[in-house]
């Protein structure tokens, strides 16, 4: 059962985002990007207040995703990407992105915090950061 409202166009949009942001990180990395996106829609907190739709989340500015500025993002979603997007829309969570609202690829080690959120871990090249339960209970 879906944890956020999403039609087939939303699923394809999330699939394209997941691929463009993390294809080099493999399936788990792409699922984690999806977790962050779904959490931003669920959260309605911090920098993501009033982000209620997939389109608002993907194209949020400032605070959005770099991939939307690159041509690769605008390629058609593959069936495998669509299946992964459905998994996260249906509530599948992958640590360390389970409750994360942010991720980025640092030059070196992951900082302890990012946008005042705690580092929850690293997967390959990306570090993930989650809010506190008090600041954003909807993502927990």
10 vs 66: CA distance, rounded Å: 18
Q: Mind listing the pLDDT tens digit of every residue in the chain (140 residues)? A: 899 999 999 999 999 999 999 999 999 999 999 999 999 999 999 999 999 999 999 999 988 899 999 999 999 999 999 999 999 999 999 999 999 999 999 999 999 999 889 999 999 999 999 999 999 999 99
- CATH, residue 74: 1.10.10.2520
**Which domain range does residue 48 map to?**
8-139
Task: Return the SS3 of 129.
Answer: strand
With beta carbons less than 8 A apart as the criterion, state whether 112 and 119 touch. Answer: yes
Q: Could you tell me if residue 135 is inside a domain?
A: yes
Q: Which position has the token pair 């990395």?
A: 29
Q: Which two tokens stand for residue 131?
A: 């809010």
Q: Could you tell me if residue 91 is inside a domain?
A: yes
- Could you tell me which of 125, 92, 131, 140 has the C-alpha nearest to residue 21? 125
Q: Which two tokens stand for residue 20?
A: 């463009």
Q: Could you tell me if residue 130 is inside a domain?
A: yes
Tens digit of each residue's pLDDT (9 = 90 or more) over 63-95: 889 999 999 999 999 999 999 999 999 999 999
- The H-or-E segment that residue 119 falls in is strand 117-123
Classify residue 138 by its DSSP letter: G
Q: Is the pTM of this model over 0.85?
A: yes
Q: Which two tokens stand for residue 114?
A: 């990012």
Q: Could you tell me if residue 86 is inside a domain?
A: yes
Q: Name the domain count of the chain.
A: 1
80 vs 84: CA distance, rounded Å: 6
Q: Could you tell me if residue 54 is inside a domain?
A: yes
- The predicted pLDDT at position 31 comes to 98
> Radius of gyration (Cα) for the chain, nearest Å?
14
Q: Could you tell me if residue 2 is inside a domain?
A: no
With beta carbons less than 8 A apart as the criterion, state whether 12 and 89 touch. Answer: no
- Could you tell me which of 92, 97, 101 has the C-alpha nearest to residue 131? 101
Bridge partners of residue 119, in order along the sequence: 129
């Amino acid at each position: 059962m879906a944890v956020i409202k999403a039609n087939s166009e939303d699923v394809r949009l999330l699939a394209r985002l997941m691929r463009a942001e993390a294809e080099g990180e493999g399936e788990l990395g792409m699922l984690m990007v999806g977790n962050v996106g779904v959490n931003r829609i669920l959260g309605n907190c911090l920098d993501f207040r009033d982000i209620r739709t997939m389109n608002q989340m993907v194209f949020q500015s400032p605070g959005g995703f770099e991939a939307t500025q690159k041509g690769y993002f605008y390629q058609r979603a593959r069936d495998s990407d669509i299946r992964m997007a459905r998994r996260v829309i249906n509530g599948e969570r992958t640590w360390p992105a389970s409750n994360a609202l942010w991720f980025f690829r640092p030059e070196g080690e992951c900082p302890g915090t990012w946008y005042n959120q705690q580092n929850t871990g690293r997967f390959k090249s990306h570090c993930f950061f989650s809010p506190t339960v008090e600041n954003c209970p909807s993502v927990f």
